Every structure is written in structure tokens, then in C-alpha cells.
Amino acid sequence: MNALVRDPIPWTDVGAVTDIPVRGARRVPTPDGDVAIFRTGDGRVFALKDKCPHKGGPLSQGIVHGHAVACPLHNWSIELATGEPMGADRGKGCAPVVPLEVRDGRLFLGRI
């Protein structure tokens, strides 16, 4: 007997990829707290909890550079793929990564 396989992550359509500016971000409120969705210069998209691991700054208001974002409060650089601080701040906390998928140009946010 074949069992139906269900996707364990509930996905929510949060808009088009083009809604996120290149080298920019958008804040999305969720029941689990705000999420920051980032779009890099090469068009890749990432999602992190919108809270810097250092002082809780809103990462969605930071400057996107390469595949990182600089926190607007104290300029910590956070890797978008992992949520980890870069350089001398590595290992001092983490901004949780939020599941994100692109389907037909639309962004689907998962819950963690």
C-alpha cells in the first residue's frame, strides 16, 4: 500500500521575487516573528529571522553586500546562507535561517 507523502513544511506565498529590490530586503511579519527576505546582486534570495544575533537589530534594514548583510546597529556582517556572523564575530550567535523557495517567480516562505 502506498502512503501519501506530505510536505512537512507549511509554505506561504509572500510575493514575487521582483518585489524584493536587488541588493535589498523586505520584512515579512509571521506568527513566529518578523522574517527578512534578501535579494543579492546576482539575483539569489535568502530568508533569515529579522534579528541580528548581536543586539537584535533589524537585519531587513541593513545593507546587502555580496551574500551578506551588514546589521544597521553595529555593522556586523551576517552570511545570508547560514545566518552566521562573519570575520572576527564568527561563532558569536546566529540569525536563524528560514526556509524559502522560489516557484514560478513567487516566493514561498516556510516555518521553522
- When divided into structural domains, the chain yields a total of 1
Could you tell me how many residues make up the chain? 112
Range in 9-13, 37-41, 65-69 with the lowest mean pLDDT: 9-13
Mean pLDDT across 30-50: 96
In a domain, 1, yes or no: no
Q: Which domain holds residue 52?
A: 20-110
Residue 24 lies in a domain: yes
Q: Which grid cell sits at 35?
A: 522574517
pTM of the model: 0.89
d(CA 48, CA 40): 14
Residue 6 lies in a domain: no
- Whether residue 35 contacts residue 27, with contact meaning beta carbons closer than 8 Å, is answered with yes
Cell of 41: 546582486
DSSP secondary-structure letter at 33?
-
